[in-house]
Amino acid sequence: MTRVDAVTTHDSAPRAGTRTGMRIAGWAGIAGPVLFTIVFLALETVRRDFDPVRLVVSALEAGPYGWVQQISFAVFGVLTIVFAVGLHQGLRKTRRGIAGPILFGVSGAAALAASAFPLRLDAAGQVYDPGGHSAAGVTFFLTSALALVILSRRVAADPAWSGLAGWTLAAGLACLAGFVVMGSLVIPDDAPLHEWAGLGQRAIVLLALFPARLALSIRLVKTGRSGNVG
């Protein structure tokens, strides 16, 4: 290998610190959805009066052990932001390619806001939003969906990641469709499918959003180990 080749190889490969950061971000991306799911399933088990078909996950903030769900939102938000930063480092750079990771970062900030502005119970025992939580929820789901759709183009442009492009796009489109359906037919109090709000939300998260995020996170960990960044 010539001196020029050696310099080129060294400059094109990510530094050890960057690779470590990518691995950490990848594990954060794995831990976020897994821990969040474990917590809300455990809370639903403990709170036997809670109806997961009718009530969204955020409703766990209202009532007994609500602080646990608040902490879960906060941890999930921080881990999502760490994941977003690492994702930008691990993928081949493209024009306007930063948009996907930024949207994931915004979704993490929205999860933090969901923790800071929790749902509460009124005097009649009904869940309500004192202010801020609904906006945080809308922001989280919309930015998560858009992040996957936009990121799919950057994933497709990176040979080391391209196998995930179709899945990433499909998951993003499914989340977008779910966002529209939930906003029009499920979430409003007078919506025809309002009694199925919890089930609908969990379907979007557990069948589309979280699997796609986990796949991207696992690939990010592998990229951090191999240093194969396009």
Phi-psi region of 116 (alpha: psi -120 to 50; beta: other; left: phi over 0): alpha
- Residues 178-223 pLDDT 10s: 999 999 999 999 999 999 999 999 999 999 999 999 999 999 999 9
pLDDT of residue 11: 40
pLDDT of residue 90: 95
pLDDT of residue 5: 40
Dmax (CA) of the chain: 77
Within 13 Å and on the Cβ side, how many CA atoms surround 77? 21
* Cα dist from 90 to 57, 83, 127, whole Å: 31, 10, 41
Paired strand residues for 127: 121
Q: Which residues of the chain have pLDDT under 50?
A: 1-12
- For residue 206, the Cα-to-chain-centroid distance in whole angstroms is 11
Tell me whether residue 196 is exposed, middle or buried, using C-beta atoms within 10 angstroms of its C-beta: 0 to 12, 13 to 18, 19 or more. Answer: middle
* Cα dist from 218 to 13, 31, 222, whole Å: 20, 11, 6
Cα–Cα distance between 11 and 3 in angstroms, integer? Answer: 12
Quote the pTM value: 0.90
